[in-house]
Structure 1
Amino acid sequence: MLDRQDPDRRTEARTTPVVVRLPGVLVDLFPGSSRRVEMQAATVRNMVDELDRRWPGMRDRICDSRPTIRRHMNVFVDGERATLKTKLRPGIEVFVLTAISGG
């Protein structure tokens, strides 16, 4: 819990980035992108928007036209499957993974 009396701690919480881990298959499609990305984002939707701002077209790989996260993509926050509405707290790691299927 943040100390309401300590302005430095409040500032630190606002400026601590979210860490996004992207799958290699996605990174390979976007030259200059990275498997580990730091950014400010309050929700998964904000995160996807920022990824798309940095690498135009990435949103279309992660989301469909509804918009929702594509069926073959998974986003995990705190070990739980996330939606675009999932809130992100400063310093958290978000994992974007491609679904694996086979027979």
Structure 2
Amino acid sequence: MTFANVGTLETKPGQRDAVIDILTRPNPSLAEAGCLFYEVGASEDQPDTVFVTELWISAAAHQESLQLPSVREAITEAMPLLTGKMDGFQYDVTGSPLRE
């Protein structure tokens, strides 16, 4: 079953774009680990928030990806730019009108 992870990361003032740069670097190992979709975005209404939407082949694939060296490096680099306030939700995808 496909797994979705949708979240927000609060950045320290003025650090949103730096975090976006870290999270949007090309990383082929994500696809190899089972990531189907990884989108990062921003809203001018929340200038210190980064939005992340991920779709994975499974919850286990998502968990395992957190141990990839490239992912660990990105987390280590981004952490000093974040306030520590994170929010979001996860769910098992049950269907879509865009695919059979």
Task: Give the TM-score normalised by structure 1.
Answer: 0.30
Task: Give the TM-score normalised by structure 2.
Answer: 0.30
User: Would you tell me which structure has more helix in proportion to its own residues?
Assistant: 2
Specify which structure has the bigger relative contact order, considering alpha-carbon pairs within 8 angstroms and separated by 6 or more residues.
Answer: 2
